[in-house]
């Protein structure tokens, strides 16, 4: 869960990126009032959460093509901290991830019931960095699946190269390469062009390219990806793919955007 008021830990990169992607409105705001809702007004609240109707004053707009009025209202579900206490929301500075409400310019709907995190300089910088990365001209594309995989043995035992081609939402090329040499650890890289150059390298963790791969790649190569390979080469390609996944590490997603 995010580091919303009442929580103890910072939101993970994957969850933060999910929120930024989902939210056409991202705002830095200070809570003016918070009314606890009960009964029918709190229908569907997850166990352990408490629903509030919040009014907040907008301090800055990170994203929002249509703009926002100086004060907005929204519903948010809050979880207690590790001691079981709910944070005092009034005067809390937060970052909101939401979408406009039709015919209600003074309201937003959060993209998840708890899509509000405590504002800190570090979190503000992280949100803005993700938002910039998503619209950069060299932003990595959305990964939609795996195409063909190939393995070419080298001249020496244990030597070889595996390439795995990925499919993307916009058709842009993305490929993964693993190089094996006798007596050395395998080396892998990702390329965002048709040509894999010597400078290609693995993505740094907690970057958009890392997120695109770690949160989208399936646990195994599809059988169709290695259908044209000899069984021995297909087995190595599968092993190399699992090596890549182990190097990427888990996506770390803990929430679902509605």
Q: Is the pLDDT at 70 greater than 60, yes or no? A: yes
Q: Which is more confident, 4 or 38?
A: 38
Which is it for strands 71-78 and 50-63: parallel, antiparallel or unpaired?
A: antiparallel
Q: What is the mean pLDDT of the chain?
A: 92
Asked whether residue 254 is domain-assigned, the answer is no
Distance CA 199, CA 30 (A): 45
Asked whether 27 and 68 are in contact (CB, 8 A), the reply is: yes
CATH number of residue 29's parent domain: 2.40.50.120
Asked whether 141 and 168 are in contact (CB, 8 A), the reply is: yes
| 222-244 confidence digits (pLDDT tens) | 999 999 999 999 999 999 999 99
Asked whether 151 and 160 are in contact (CB, 8 A), the reply is: yes
Co-location of 122 and 185 in the same domain: no
Q: For residue 6, what pLDDT is reported?
A: 45
Q: Which is more confident, 4 or 182?
A: 182
Asked whether residue 116 is domain-assigned, the answer is yes
Q: For residue 165, what pLDDT is reported?
A: 96
Asked whether residue 255 is domain-assigned, the answer is no
Asked whether residue 155 is domain-assigned, the answer is yes
Question: What is the tally of structural domains in the chain?
Answer: 2
Co-location of 127 and 32 in the same domain: yes
Co-location of 109 and 173 in the same domain: no
Boundary-marking domain end, from 115, 135, 155: 135
Asked whether 160 and 177 are in contact (CB, 8 A), the reply is: no
Boundary-marking domain end, from 107, 135, 163: 135
- Residue 7: pLDDT band by 50, 70, 90 thresholds? very low
Co-location of 235 and 122 in the same domain: no
Asked whether residue 164 is domain-assigned, the answer is yes
- The boundaries of the domain holding residue 217 are 143-248
Co-location of 117 and 157 in the same domain: no
Q: Which is more confident, 209 or 6?
A: 209
Asked whether residue 257 is domain-assigned, the answer is no
Asked whether residue 8 is domain-assigned, the answer is no
Boundary-marking domain end, from 103, 135, 167: 135
List strands edge to edge, sheet with 143-153: 143-153, 160-168, 174-180, 187-191
Q: For residue 199, what pLDDT is reported?
A: 67
């Amino acid at each position: 869960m995010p580091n919303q008021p009442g929580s103890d830990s910072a939101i993970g990169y994957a969850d933060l990126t999910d929120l930024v992607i989902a939210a056409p409105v991202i705002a830095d705001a200070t809570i003016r009032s918070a009314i606890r809702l009960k009964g029918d007004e709190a229908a569907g609240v997850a166990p352990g959460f408490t629903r509030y109707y919040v009014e907040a004053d907008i301090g800055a707009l990170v994203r929002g093509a249509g703009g926002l009025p100086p004060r907005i209202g929204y519903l948010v579900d809050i979880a207690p901290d590790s001691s079981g206490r709910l944070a005092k929301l009034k005067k809390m500075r937060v970052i909101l991830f939401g979408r406009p409400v039709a015919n209600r310019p003074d309201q937003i709907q959060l993209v998840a019931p708890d899509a509000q995190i405590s504002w800190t300089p570090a979190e503000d910088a992280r949100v803005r960095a993700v938002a910039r990365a998503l619209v950069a001209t060299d932003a990595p594309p959305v990964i939609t699946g795996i195409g063909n995989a190939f393995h070419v043995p080298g001249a020496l035992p244990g030597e070889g190269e595996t390439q795995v081609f990925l499919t993307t939402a916009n058709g842009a090329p993305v490929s993964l390469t693993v190089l094996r040499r006798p007596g050395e650890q395998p080396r892998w890289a990702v390329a965002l062009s048709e040509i894999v150059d010597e400078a290609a390298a693995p993505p740094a963790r907690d970057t958009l390219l890392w997120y695109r791969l770690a949160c989208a790649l399936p646990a195994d190569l599809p059988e169709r990806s290695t259908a044209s390979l000899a069984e021995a080469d297909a087995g190595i390609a599968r092993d190399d793919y699992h090596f890549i996944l182990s190097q990427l590490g888990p996506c770390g997603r803990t929430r679902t955007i509605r």
